[in-house]
Amino acid sequence: MGSRGQITELLNQLAHDLKTLEIAYEKYFLGTEKRAPEKERQKITLRMRKMITHYIPQTDLRYKLQSISSRFNSYCGYWDRIQRLIDEGRYERHTSRINRSESFKPPTGKVSAEEIDNPVDNLYEELVTAHKACELRPPNREQVVSLLSRQKEAIQKRFGNKQVDFVVVTEAGKPKIKVRAKR
């Protein structure tokens, strides 16, 4: 096959190409690319098969080839599963992007004083930001409003007539709304 330097260079190039293919698939799954990178995947598959059929006497290089090969096979299974979910219409990132674009209403340009000073809107924006930071799908605004209205009695029992603040905190990787009495 070649010397140790040539084999190392081939393995490094194969690992780099695998990383590039991984990025290309992520772009496809996010919807920025129109087609799956099938040609690139076929090229890497053929190169991987050629590398595996050759005898490599150095143990560390054989180990590196096996790790690249197993990573590639794992990615192939993942990519096939995600492609199947997309074909069935059950893939979350695609459906959520479609739902957001359908429900988007462009701003009218007129902002009332109620919208600026509405604490529910401010709380909802903080909650959406926290969900995005945790890479979670944010709840609907209606869900947040209904949660606050359901909890209104419990809050009044706990704090009485005191003024309260709603604070968005992240605990164990999940954003939550906490209630605190104003001082």
In 3D space, the residue among 50, 54, 33 whose CA is nearest the CA of residue 42 turns out to be: 50
Q: Give the model confidence (pLDDT) of 75-99 as tens digits.
A: 999 999 999 988 888 877 644 555 5
The rounded distance, in Å, linking the Cα atoms of 30 and 48 is 27
Residue 97's pLDDT is 52
The rounded distance, in Å, linking the Cα atoms of 95 and 103 is 12
Instruction: Provide the CA 182 distance to its chain's centre, in angstroms.
Output: 36
What proportions of the chain, in percent to the nearest 5, are helix, strand and coil? 70, 10, 25
pTM of the entire predicted model: 0.52
Two structure tokens written together for 40: 């690139």
Q: Is the pLDDT of residue 50 over 90?
A: yes
Specify whether the CB–CB gap between 86 and 94 falls below 8 A. Answer: yes
In the block, residue with structure tokens 């979670």: 136
Q: Give the model confidence (pLDDT) of 112-143 as tens digits.
A: 444 445 677 778 888 888 878 787 888 888 88
Q: Give the model confidence (pLDDT) of 14-45 as tens digits.
A: 999 999 999 999 999 888 888 999 999 999 99
Specify whether the CB–CB gap between 70 and 52 falls below 8 A. Answer: no
The rounded distance, in Å, linking the Cα atoms of 12 and 27 is 23
